[in-house]
Amino acid sequence: MRSDNAKAGMQQAPARSLFRALGLTEEEMARPLIGVVNSYNEIVPGHMNLDKITEAVKQGIAMAGGTPIVFPAIAVCDGIAMGHVGMKYSLVTRDLIADSTECMAMAHQFDGLVMIPNCDKNVPGLLMAAARLNIPTVFVSGGPMLAGHVKGKKRSLSSMFEAVGSYAAGTMTEEDVCEFENKVCPTCGSCSGMYTANSMNCLTEVLGMGLQGNGTIPAVYSERIRLAKHAGMAVMDMVNKNIRPRDIMTEAAFRNALTMDMALGCSTNSMLHLPAIAHEAGVELNVDIANEISAKTPNLCHLAPAGPTYMEDLNEAGGIYAVMKEISKLGLLNLDCMTVTGKTVGENIKNSVNKNPEVIRTVDNPYSRTGGIAVLKGNIAPDSCVVKRSAVVPEMLQHEGPARVFDCEEDAIAAIKGGKIVAGDVVVIRYEGPKGGPGMREMLNPTSAIAGMGLGSSVALITDGRFSGASRGASIGHVSPEAAAGGPIGLVEEGDIISIDINANTINMKVSDEELARRRANWTPKVKEVTGYLKRYRKLVTSADKGAILADE
């Protein structure tokens, strides 16, 4: 056993004395030591129940002959961090989580790991750690929140942000906003739409790193406690069979994940996280292949914010395996990929059934013939930018309008809520990328303000920052290169005409190459003063199209 490095032989007698100080018995020390990475804290609603999930995982490990040992991982609540300096500290935690988990796992020589994440960057952060460490690992999340109910309709966090915009537009009263505030987030769990946390938990199933239901069983269901016990048992089976993350997270598995990303209509943040996870697994995942995969992958699900269905509905319809079974009818998935069950993808999904073709459309009746995410390129984004196509109204798939330029999120929000943005405009928010932010803030506040002001079908927003999975509309992010790195988004001037064609995967400003060269000659990218971790992060972070990974040197 790997843990024998820390506990076997006369030389490790001092270490054994410390294990005994923990209360471990001879019998427990003789078993495989399994690290249980608990992301529990008291600030993230999606983590309220992780103490119960952790206890269930420990029981499962012990029942299967292992010794569970818990250690923590940090987590930021993106919703609480949104709209202020705190959002600069969200994406950056992904690498802190991966690094700190590596440190704990290597220092104590665990034989296996069970990762217990939920919201937000700890799902990809722990997947990165799993790929890097390459010891038997299973994921079990805290599960999604149930949808809220306001005025006879199901609602979610995106409804709350849009309510604030509606109040600014004078179409909603303070009492209405208060009702939303009290009802849209009714339980613990990751917010109830296909936002980033749920997207990544669902894709963990697709990658083969989580058991069936990991992405969709609601947080408050006892079924999730049972799932956690089975996750504890599963990691022991992996230890016994020596099944490791890199046996599972292969190039074929990542192509499966991108395919299902398109079918499900996941958050655009998946386009940051999948390449970063793949990099740790030794797989280079170029976002350019996203359009190739999208072109042949139908979009089968329209969960909030793209449509009126929620994670609980997807769960009742058969969950992720049912969507995979539907997509497999087109031959688009590699069914031979290994998973944490010790079985292949094909074996896992063989008996899955689509129980509600209104929630999971069939492949011959999709929402669209192409996938939920599109990668655009043009003279604003020579390397790439990303849009959640499934959440864009048809009339905004092609759009042309004047640029309204802002060098930070706060200025853009003030203009939107102040009525200074009008139908046809293209809001440009720059210097919010990985280096420019630093930290690449999510722009849920401005996108929700646009929707709440009634401009969702007439105004586009582009940024070198990123979007929450709760954003909808023509919200185009991850513009690469970013302004702070010399990207041409930094050359856009107020009133420039910007042409967007999502169907053609293009985005351009109607400015001649000669004029752009003139502007560049007289331009120096802005640099924001920062200290502490953000300063170190800015030195190492790479472009969004590379997954915003940290450079090795």
The catalytic residues are: 468
The dihedral through the CA atoms of 237, 239, 242, 246 has a sign that is positive
Q: What angle do CA 24, 25, 27 make, to 5 degrees?
A: 125
Q: What is the DSSP string of 61-110?
A: HHHTT-EEEEEE-----HHHHTTSGGGGGTTTHHHHHHHHHHHHHHHHT-
In a 3-state reduction of DSSP, which class is residue 277?
helix
Question: Quick one: the chain helix, strand, coil %, rounded to 5?
Answer: 45, 15, 40
Q: Which residues contact 268 (CB under 8 A, 6 or more apart)?
A: 373, 386, 387, 388, 466, 467, 469, 471, 475, 477, 478
Which is it for strands 374-376 and 384-387: parallel, antiparallel or unpaired? antiparallel
Q: What is the DSSP string of 31-58?
A: SPEEEEEE---SS-GGGTTHHHHHHHHH
Closest CA to 144 of 236, 46, 72, 64: 46
Pair of tokens at residue 522: 């007289």
Residue with tokens 């309510």: 163
- HSE at residue 488, side-chain half, CA atoms within 13 A, is 22
Residue 61: phi and psi, rounded to 5, are: -65, -45
